[in-house]
Amino acid sequence: GQQVMQIPQYQHVQEGEDFTTYCNSSTTLSNIQWYKQRPGGHPVFLIQLVKSGEVKKQKRLTFQFGEAKKNSSLHITATQTTDVGTYFCAGTAGTYKYIFGTGTRLKVLA
């Protein structure tokens, strides 16, 4: 079955450093989404990528969708303590069923 893996599982950074998490699917995706979950909270939608090679930016966050539509990345420039949380990707092969990645837990040290 379809699997979505994320690396790294954990990342500790000093405030101001950059952070990147990578998402890899075993199958080609029709689109991919990114979510952020704060400690003790629920996932909150960040963005959806649909096109091959697509790049989208939200302030300090840059999202990429691979050319083969099997991988994606989220890059945060100059992390802040408010960036703390777990970042999940979620992909679908074109149905209502989304497969979530294993998540990357980010800790930012002030």
Q: How many residues bind other proteins (CB under 8 A)?
A: 23
66: Cβ contacts below 8 Å, ≥ 6 apart: 52, 53, 72
In the chain, the N- to C-terminal Cα span, in Å, equals: 41
Considering only residues 24, 70, 84, 98, which one is a binding residue for other proteins as defined by CB under 8 A? 98
Interface positions, 27-66, toward other proteins (CB under 8 A): 31, 33, 35, 41-45, 48
> Least distance to other proteins from the beta carbon of 32, Å?
10
Residue closer to other proteins, measured from CB, 25 or 31? 31
> Least distance to other proteins from the beta carbon of 96, Å?
5
> Least distance to other proteins from the beta carbon of 109, Å?
19
- Summarize as ranges the residues that interact with other proteins (CB under 8 A): 1, 6, 31, 33, 35, 41-45, 48, 88, 90, 92, 96-103, 105
